[in-house]
Structure 1
Amino acid sequence: MKILRVTLFLAFLSLSVSAQSVYVRLITNKGNIILRLYDETPKHRDMFLKSIKEGVYRDALFNRVIKSFVSQGGELDDSILNQEKRHPEIPGKRLAAEIKPGLYHKKGALGAGRDDNKEKSSYYNQIYLVDGKPQTDAQLDAIELKKGIKYTAKQREIYKTEGGIPRLDQDYTIFGEIVEGMDIADQINSVATDKNDVPLSPVVFKAVVLSKKEAVRLKLNP
């Protein structure tokens, strides 16, 4: 009986560990940001992890920064679309959308960029951090009416107090959020830019996956 209890405990522990979310540190020249990737969007989580492993985000840039809107990193739209235009024989790569009602564009959310494809599929190597502005009930009512969605009381409260970009909800995949370093994200979103929203001084970052031991040490695991 004692052996059975130990076996069941170890099995439970194994399941608990495997169910824990993955955390990623963005090491930027402004400071560090820690992201939690959502288990509810496994394809985007795994896509991001694969890109990190392949070195896509080793010396990446926040190359499009729009104050009070988003800070975009990774590949630029123009680079992706121009490459596809030059090589029409190679089908464009997109990742099927994982748009979930409970995952929304609150301040600090991590999203996947895309073009105007009707399937709302994401680019493989473009991410953005949501900044946004506080919303009013009237603004949220208008979004609900326009998009046929319904915000929970908690979502409304967060949008009204912390801010975000509700007009992007249900159109882009959100697959994570900032859990540490919101002040650094604010600094990045406030940098001076040119007329094309490109930072005047490069904002460089490297993405590193945290080990489970480090996540536990930082008390990040739920």
Structure 2
Amino acid sequence: MKKTLRKLLLGLCVLTTTASYAQKPSKKDYLVTIKTDYGTMRLVLFDQTPQHKANFVKLAREKFYDGLLFHRIIEDFMIQGGDPNSRNAQPGAMLGGGDVGYKIPAEFHPALFHRKGALAAARDNNPEKASSGCQFYLVDGRPLTGADLTRQLARATRKPTEAQQQVYQNLGGSPHLDGAYTVFGQVIDGLEVIDKIAAQPKDPRDRPEKDITMQVSVEQVRKKKITKKYNYAFL
């Protein structure tokens, strides 16, 4: 009996230590780099969306995104990529239907919103609003007037906070998407690259006339270094 009790106590001690270790904040985080012919973007991924974060890191480490296209661009709205069918796609081919065979459950968080430079997951019209396992978009957007904001909020699933509305008016974004698509990262350097890509000539299906390929990599960097270099405050 005493031996069994000692084992139970030891197990409880190990579990408690492991849980405490898992909750200990890391001094490092992932810095994502997306290289294109129009410039380079640096991004961070949010801890509040752990499944999306882990999946994106996995795919980037596997070089899944290298050579894929930004296949859909809409100026002042977003640029979309990550369709595996876009690799070596023929000119004029319809893109956007490719996937990796699984979806990721929606991870909505009130602090994460569709400000300019937001990284969000594309999806189909599934009722659970689960995300594509690979396709994503980067929000372009322009500063919204009061009237613009009112119109978009009328279509929104979730109303942004007053502080978020100020960001939409000063920086830009797409508030009507909040609560409908999972935001899981943010561009912290190279916002102008989104503008350049979004402004390129395109066909009636919003595919750029000239292919825009991407190279995506991730590395672990000390948070203090990211904050200092890119003036980014972690949530």
Query: Equivalent residues in 2 for 1:133-152 (5 A)?
Result: 133-141=142-150, 143-144=152-153, 147=156, 149-152=158-161
TM-score normalised by the chain length of structure 2 = 0.76
Question: Which secondary structure does the structure 2 equivalent of 1:203 belong to?
Answer: coil
In structure 1, what is the equivalent of residue 131 of structure 2?
A: 122
Matched, 1:111 2:120: yes
Q: Matches of 2:155 and 2:65 in 1, distance apart?
A: 36
The superposition leaves residues 59-91 of structure 1 with CA deviations (integer Å, 9 ceiling, x where unpaired) of 1211111111110011143234xx9xxxxxxxx
Matched, 1:33 2:41: yes
In structure 2, what is the equivalent of residue 43 of structure 1?
A: 51
* Structure 2: runs of 5+ lacking an equivalent: 1-19, 84-94
Q: Matches of 2:191 and 2:106 in 1, distance apart?
A: 26
Q: Matches of 1:98 and 1:59 in 2, distance apart?
A: 28
The superposition leaves residues 159-199 of structure 1 with CA deviations (integer Å, 9 ceiling, x where unpaired) of 01111111111000000111000111111111111111111
TM-superposed deviation, 1:214: 9.8
CA RMSD of aligned residues (A): 2.6
The superposition leaves residues 114-140 of structure 1 with CA deviations (integer Å, 9 ceiling, x where unpaired) of 000010000011010001232233444
Query: Equivalent residues in 2 for 1:49-60 (5 A)?
Result: 49-60=57-68
Matched, 1:219 2:232: no
In structure 2, what is the equivalent of residue 95 of structure 1?
A: 104
Q: Which amino acid in the other structure matches residue 193 of structure 2?
A: I
TM-score normalised by the chain length of structure 1 = 0.80
Q: Which amino acid in the other structure matches residue 59 of structure 1?
A: G
Gap change, CA 1:144 and 1:189, over 3 Å in 2 = closer
Q: Which structure has the bigger radius of gyration?
A: 2
Gap change, CA 1:141 and 1:23, over 3 Å in 2 = same
Q: Percent identity?
A: 35
In structure 2, what is the equivalent of residue 78 of structure 1?
A: 97
The superposition leaves residues 30-66 of structure 1 with CA deviations (integer Å, 9 ceiling, x where unpaired) of 1110011111111101110111122211112111111
User: Does structure 2 conserve the Cα–Cα contact (< 8 Å) formed by 1:21 and 1:39?
Assistant: no
Gap change, CA 1:189 and 1:147, over 3 Å in 2 = closer
Q: Matches of 2:224 and 2:70 in 1, distance apart?
A: 25
* Structure 1: runs of 5+ lacking an equivalent: 1-10, 84-91
Gap change, CA 1:143 and 1:219, over 3 Å in 2 = same
User: Does structure 2 conserve the Cα–Cα contact (< 8 Å) formed by 1:106 and 1:162?
Assistant: yes
Q: Matches of 1:64 and 1:144 in 2, distance apart?
A: 24
Gap change, CA 1:73 and 1:148, over 3 Å in 2 = closer
